[in-house]
Amino acid sequence: MSAAELGAQPGERATLVQFSTAFCQPCRATRRVLAGVAAMVEGVAHIEIDAERELDLVRALGIARTPTTLVLDAAGRIVRRAEGQPRTADVVAALGAAVTAG
């Protein structure tokens, strides 16, 4: 995925892409987890995308519910995908796979 598709600059090493909606309660907790991990790991960006505004992208990626998190490697390839509120340990493990893949 490119910066144009994401609407923001991806991370140098990996990117955590979160699809959210305004009234999604688990999305708020997911935002805190992903932002916290991105702040801890150098070269990782957290980008939140409003699923209601970006329907074409949601359809193209097959996003069925929010929150959905995509973990991208340095080249912008999706290496992990998860629905629901993630645990910090799972996000860190997914980032390990992304950095190794990239």
CA distance 96 to 73: 10
The percent of residues in the chain predicted with pLDDT above 90, rounded, is 83
pLDDT in tens, 36-84: 999 999 999 999 999 999 999 999 999 999 999 999 999 999 999 999 9
- Does 101 have pLDDT greater than 80? no
CB neighbours of residue 12 within 10 Å? 12
